């Protein structure tokens, strides 16, 4: 196992009070596997990623255990985490333009983590940067290395971000909505590149997205998050064919047909509850058409419904046996 996340909770201080943003999040990632984290915005996807990388605001309270290749990195000091970030684990974000420094050449930016984490000579670094640019499918690497971000298209910039993230051959790559800002054709090319890199390097990838089209294209397994909790996890085909949690089903129904990806998630009526107003029982209860009395008062636990398929919903309590006969419209 490459990454093992166990019972991770995160509280952030807001207006003098702590709010729980993540509640006992558990999942794992294997080498050579892409795990998707999906959910509407505000469900804790990005905060999960930032917790893994420990890119958290001051006074954040992080509990639980995070292991990267059996190292308990959640116990590391911030200083020790700096040696992990950009080295064993890297992250790429949605908007490459805000993440790239407009004043530095492409080459200089990619070189930065090589300077930080390796003892390569100047010449060796330049060679490595050119190889990285080739690896991410960018043409005329020996010229590109001396160009500035504004001279490049959005797709090229995202490739630069990937090259930066890949510079030190990370074991784990975390991608937070990496293609959301790109048009559909470029998006497809970037996703193809990520698949290629994964095959070539056997790194593990966490793909954070609210686009189930992206999930279908690159993910092996999926974690569905709702209001700071994991509510379902399954291999990607299983999740698409046999979603169990009413929230996951709602997300599936919001997938636009005919490959048109314009619409994003959000066709489920209502909104995600805020951490300050979390319902006592199931957090989805207010929006769930199948909610029962127990849902309002008791928190459902993750229950195995099939091999490798788990969900936290009172409909499936008792090892996958449905409690509610009225919910029999799907078997």
Taking the least distance from each CB to Mg ion, the nearer of 229 and 310 is 229
The 3-state DSSP class for residue 279 equals coil
Instruction: Confirm if 71 and 16 have CB atoms less than 8 A apart.
Output: no
- β-pairing, 172-176 vs 204-209, is parallel
Q: Does 181 participate in binding ligand SF4 (rule CB under 6 A)?
A: no
46 binds, among ligand SF4, Mg ion, none (CB under 5 to 8 A by kind): Mg ion
In which element (H, E) is residue 192 found?
helix 184-201
* Cα of 5 vs its chain's centroid, Å: 13
Nearer to ligand SF4, 278 or 292 (CB): 292
**Are 226 and 22 in contact, with CB atoms under 8 Å apart?**
no
- Picked from Mg ion, ligand SF4, none, the partner binding residue 314 (CB below 5 to 8 A depending on kind) is ligand SF4
**Binding positions for ligand SF4, 186-245, rule CB under 6 A:** 245
Instruction: Tell me how far, at minimum, the Cβ of 256 lies from Mg ion, in Å.
Output: 20
Least distance CB 278 / ligand SF4 (angstroms): 13
CB of 182 to ligand SF4, least distance (A): 33
Element (H, E) at 55: none
Instruction: Tell me the CA distances in angstroms from 137 to 32, 82, 130, 156, 193, one per residue in order.
Output: 20, 28, 11, 9, 8
The answer to the question of residue 272 lying near ligand SF4 (CB under 6 A) is no
Interface with ligand SF4, residue 285, by CB under 6 A = yes
CA dihedral 82, 86, 89, 92 (to 10 degrees): 120
**Judged by CB under 6 A, does residue 295 bind ligand SF4?**
yes
273 binds ligand SF4 (CB under 6 A): no
Contacting positions for Mg ion (CB under 5 A): 46
Taking the least distance from each CB to ligand SF4, the nearer of 230 and 282 is 282
- Closest approach, Cβ 289 to ligand SF4, in A, equals 8
Closest CA to 20 of 274, 302, 252: 274
Question: Which residues contact ligand SF4 (rule: CB under 6 A)?
Answer: 245-246, 282, 284-285, 288, 290-292, 295, 300, 313-315
């Amino acid at each position: 196992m490459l990454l093992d996340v166990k019972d991770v909770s995160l509280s952030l201080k807001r207006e003098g009070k702590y709010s729980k943003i993540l509640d006992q999040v558990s999942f794992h990632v294997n080498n050579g596997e892409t795990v998707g984290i999906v959910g509407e915005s505000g469900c804790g996807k990005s905060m999960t990623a930032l917790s893994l990388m420990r890119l958290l605001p001051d006074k954040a309270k992080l509990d639980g255990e995070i292991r990267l290749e059996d190292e308990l990195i959640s116990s590391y000091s911030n200083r020790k985490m700096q040696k992990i970030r950009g080295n064993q684990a890297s992250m790429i974000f949605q908007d490459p333009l805000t993440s790239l420094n407009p004043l530095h050449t492409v080459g200089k930016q990619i070189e930065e983590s090589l300077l930080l984490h390796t003892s390569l000579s100047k010449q060796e670094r330049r060679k490595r940067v050119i190889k990285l640019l080739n690896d991410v499918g960018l043409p005329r690497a020996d010229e590109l290395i001396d160009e500035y971000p504004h001279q490049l298209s959005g797709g090229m910039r995202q490739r630069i971000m990937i090259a930066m993230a890949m510079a030190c051959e990370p074991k784990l790559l975390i991608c937070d909505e990496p293609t959301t800002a790109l048009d559909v054709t470029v998006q497809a090319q970037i996703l193809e590149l990520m698949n290629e890199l994964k095959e070539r390097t056997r790194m593990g990838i966490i793909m954070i997205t609210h686009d189930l089209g992206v999930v279908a294209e690159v993910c092996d397994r999926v974690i569905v998050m709702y209001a700071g909790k994991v509510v379902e996890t399954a291999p990607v085909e299983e999740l698409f064919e046999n979603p169990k949690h009413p929230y996951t089903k709602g997300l599936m129904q919001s997938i636009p047909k005919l490959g048109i990806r314009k619409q994003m998630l959000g066709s489920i009526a209502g909104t995600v509850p805020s951490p300050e107003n979390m319902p006592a029982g199931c957090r989805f209860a207010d929006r769930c058409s199948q909610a029962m009395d127990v849902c309002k008062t008791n928190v459902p636990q993750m229950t195995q419904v099939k091999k490798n398929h788990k969900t936290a919903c009172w409909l499936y309590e008792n090892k996958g046996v449905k409690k509610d006969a009225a919910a029999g419209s799907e078997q």
